[in-house]
Amino acid sequence: MNAKVTLEKMSVHFGANHAVKGVDLDFAANSVTAIIGPSGCGKSTLLRAINRMHDLVPSARVSGRIMLDSHDIYERSIDPVAIRRKIGMVFQKPNPFPAMSIYDNVIAGYKLNNGVQRSVADEIVESCLKRVALWDEVKDRLKTSAMDLSGGQQQRLCIARTIAVQPEVILMDEPCSALDPIATLKIEELIDELKERYTIIIVTHNMQQAARVSDATAFMYLGELVESGATRKIFTTPEKRQTEDYITGRFG
């Protein structure tokens, strides 16, 4: 297995609260890894450490190492802004920029990093919207507000915005929890297609979803990594009792 992202003894503290406790975990390149676990188990906290989102929270402290292709992304000399261009993120609630059009939303991140020529921008917008299967639905109204889209469309727009920056890893923090079943299905199909190009790490509290979309699964409980491995194995023959209890619905 070729690990794209590796956590080594990774811990996250918020003040005195030890939210993620010494996790060792590999995320394979060009595959989907799901992180599951009950609410408050630290799975979102772990995910946000991977693109240094905790830098925004003054009380948060990340220790241990997080390696992206064998570089520690928390090393002093590394620019967190550059890291986030390599490791994109899709959030729980769709969060397009309300003051921008659909077109401007897609190109917003790309524009920050590169000077944009009109023709290049047009191409990027079209290809990104096509990859998230939104192009046909919005191609005639690219200049209208992103807020006119449905929740599912907005989330696909946010994914398009993320891939326009050309990341290598995409983090998804319960990307379907605010969506209806049909929109959820579309996002799940999309995840399956995206893994050809990107390494995807998805946090979900929906075990069926983890089973459907992921190649590997990690189960967390009370801030600790209980068990990880191939999704098929975790869901059929887990090694730990806690994992089995959780996936069979005995708690959580």
Partner 1 sequence: MTEADSRYEPERRRPLGGDTIYRWLTAGFGLLVLAILGLMLFEMAQGSLPSLAKSGWSFISGKDWDAVQGNFGALPFIFGSVVSAVLAILVATPLSVATALFITEIAPKKVGGVIASLVELLAAIPSVIYGLWGVLVMAPWLQQSVQPWLIDHLGFLPFFSGAPFGASRMAGVLIQAIMIIPIITAICREVLLAVPQSQREAAVALGATKWEMIRIAVLPYGRSGVLGAVILGLGRAIGETMAVTMVIGNSPLISMSLLSPAYTMPSVIANEFAEATNALHSAALMEIGLILLFVTLAVNVLARVMIWSVTRGAKGGVA
154: contact with partner 1 by CB under 8 A: no
- Which residue in 85, 197, 205, 233 binds partner 1 (CB under 8 A)? 85
The minimum distance between CB 89 and partner 1, in angstroms, equals 4
93: contact with partner 1 by CB under 8 A: yes
Of 34, 38, 27, 64, residue with least CA distance to 49: 64
- What part of residues 186-245 is at the interface with partner 1 (CB under 8 A)? none
CB of 93 or CB of 205, closer to partner 1: 93
CB of 147 or CB of 222, closer to partner 1: 147
**Residue 17, beta-bridge partner list:** 14
| Length of the chain, in residues | 252
CB of 17 or CB of 144, closer to partner 1: 144
114: contact with partner 1 by CB under 8 A: no
108: contact with partner 1 by CB under 8 A: yes
Kindly indicate which of the ranges 69-77, 93-101, 219-227, 230-238 contains the residues binding partner 1, using the contact rule CB under 8 A.
Answer: 93-101
Kindly indicate which of the ranges 144-152, 175-183, 219-227, 235-243 contains the residues binding partner 1, using the contact rule CB under 8 A.
Answer: 144-152
147: contact with partner 1 by CB under 8 A: yes
3: contact with partner 1 by CB under 8 A: no
Of 218, 232, 213, 108, residue with least CA distance to 163: 108
Per-residue interface string for the shown chain with partner 1, residues 158-177, x marking contact by CB under 8 A: x--xx--x------------
- Which residue in 96, 152, 175, 238 binds partner 1 (CB under 8 A)? 96
Phi/psi at 28 (5° precision): -75, 145
- Which residue in 109, 175, 223, 238 binds partner 1 (CB under 8 A)? 109
- Placement of tokens 């891939």 in the chain: 163
The minimum distance between CB 120 and partner 1, in angstroms, equals 17
Map the chain to HEC letters.
CCEEEEEEEEEEEECCEEEEEEEEEEEECCCEEEEECCCCCCHHHHHHHHCCHHHHCCCEEEEEEEEECCEECCCCCCCHHHHHHHEEEECCCCCCCCCCEHHHHHHHHHHHHCCCCHHHHHHHHHHHHHHCCCHHHHHHHCCCEHHHCCHHHHHHHHHHHHHHCCCCEEEEECCCCCCCHHHHHHHHHHHHHHCCCCEEEEECCCHHHHHHHCCEEEEEECCEEEEEEEHHHHHHCCCCHHHHHHHCCCCC
Kindly indicate which of the ranges 65-73, 105-113, 118-126, 183-191 contains the residues binding partner 1, using the contact rule CB under 8 A.
Answer: 105-113
**Contacting positions for partner 1 (CB under 8 A):** 51, 53, 56, 58, 81-82, 84-85, 88-89, 91, 93, 95-100, 108-109, 112-113, 144-145, 147-148, 158, 161-162, 165
